[in-house]
């Protein structure tokens, strides 16, 4: 009997009806295109709020995956509800969304875990976590015939970020893309959020992931998925893909028109020569 992680936030963060979900995603994709062409993509950064708030920003990144031959998608997520040391790869057989089930590549998962003291299989952090789930319907729209490795980081300290990056790097090949799921600052005024989020944007644009890790450690800027962002960028660097480009940055105030307390969003791509 296969075990699938059921959709936890369908109907909350995105439509639970497959037709409405498809219409919404395809609308975002149609209005979120960049003219720049990227080859040798190793990873993207995508936000994970409700689609009405961050779906357009996410779509800039997912448009770049359309038509690419990615067979394995490693999704790295923060844990919003549960703390635990290290990172947990879901131990079941797949993740379910209104579009159906995406199966987990257990061979890649085992390879990432192999030799690690801090990466393990289980269900910790996966139960109600939205940050992985909201990425999957976009992936199901732009990719065909792919599997996922869903990873929740229970602790985003540098020691865990570095090990995860190294383990992913040794497991990735040309058919692998890494998704770092993250929003940026939370509940500041639009002006303050722009100040904080522009720091993250510049470090990502300059491919300075070590500097970004230091900024997060010293609370100079914020991203709930800062660890996933740095892990994706470092893993990419280890496989000689060391260029990045910020595709779009926005905040919730762009939709709500409430500029007193906003949440920031960013999408970006990491690629090689």
Which of 166, 6, 156, 184 is CA-nearest to residue 87? 156
What would the pLDDT profile of 225-257 be if each residue is shown by its tens digit? 999 999 999 999 999 999 999 999 999 999 999
Instruction: Return mean pLDDT, the chain.
Output: 98
State the pLDDT at residue 139.
98
Distance CA 185, CA 221 (A): 7
Q: How many domains does the chain divide into?
A: 1
Provide the whole-model pTM: 0.98
Q: Residue 93: is its pLDDT beyond 90? A: yes
State the pLDDT at residue 203.
98
Mean pLDDT of 167-172: 97
Q: Residue 273: is its pLDDT beyond 90? A: no
Is the separation of the CB atoms in 42 and 169 below 8 Å? no
State the pLDDT at residue 83.
97
Domain with 65, as residue range(s), is: 4-271
What would the pLDDT profile of 112-141 be if each residue is shown by its tens digit? 999 999 999 999 999 999 999 999 999 999
State the pLDDT at residue 208.
98
For strands 147-153 and 87-90, give the pairing: antiparallel
Distance CA 19, CA 24 (A): 9
**Residue 200: CATH number of its domain:** 3.40.830.10
Mean pLDDT of 26-33: 98
State the pLDDT at residue 75.
99
Q: Residue 48: is its pLDDT beyond 90? A: yes
Mean pLDDT of 77-87: 97
For residue 144, name the pLDDT band (cuts at 50, 70, 90).
very high
């Amino acid at each position: 009997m296969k075990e699938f992680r059921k959709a936890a936030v369908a109907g909350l963060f995105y439509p639970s009806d497959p037709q409405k979900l498809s219409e919404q995603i395809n609308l975002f994709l149609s209005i979120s295109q960049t003219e720049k062409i990227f080859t040798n993509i190793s990873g993207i950064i995508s936000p994970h709020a409700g689609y009405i708030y961050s779906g357009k920003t996410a779509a800039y990144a997912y448009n770049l995956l359309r038509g690419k031959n990615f067979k394995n998608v490693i999704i790295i997520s923060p844990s919003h509800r549960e703390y635990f040391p290290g990172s947990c790869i879901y131990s079941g057989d797949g993740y379910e969304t209104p579009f159906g089930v995406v199966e987990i590549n257990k061979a890649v998962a085992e390879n990432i875990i192999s030799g690690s003291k801090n990466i393990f299989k289980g269900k910790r952090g996966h139960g109600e976590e939205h940050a992985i789930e909201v990425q999957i319907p976009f992936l199901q729209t732009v990719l065909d015939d792919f599997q996922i490795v869903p990873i929740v980081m229970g602790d985003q300290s540098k020691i865990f970020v570095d090990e995860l990056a190294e383990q992913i790097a040794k497991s990735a090949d040309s058919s692998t893309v890494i998704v770092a799921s993250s929003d940026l600052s939370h509940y500041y005024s639009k002006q303050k959020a722009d100040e904080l989020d522009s720091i993250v944007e510049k470090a990502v644009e300059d491919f300075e992931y070590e500097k970004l890790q230091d900024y997060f450690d010293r609370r100079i800027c914020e991203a709930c998925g800062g660890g996933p962002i740095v892990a994706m960028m470092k893993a990419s660097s280890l496989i000689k893909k060391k260029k990045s480009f910020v595709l779009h940055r926005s905040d919730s105030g762009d939709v709500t028109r409430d500029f007193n307390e906003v949440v920031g969003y960013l999408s970006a791509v990491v690629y090689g020569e």
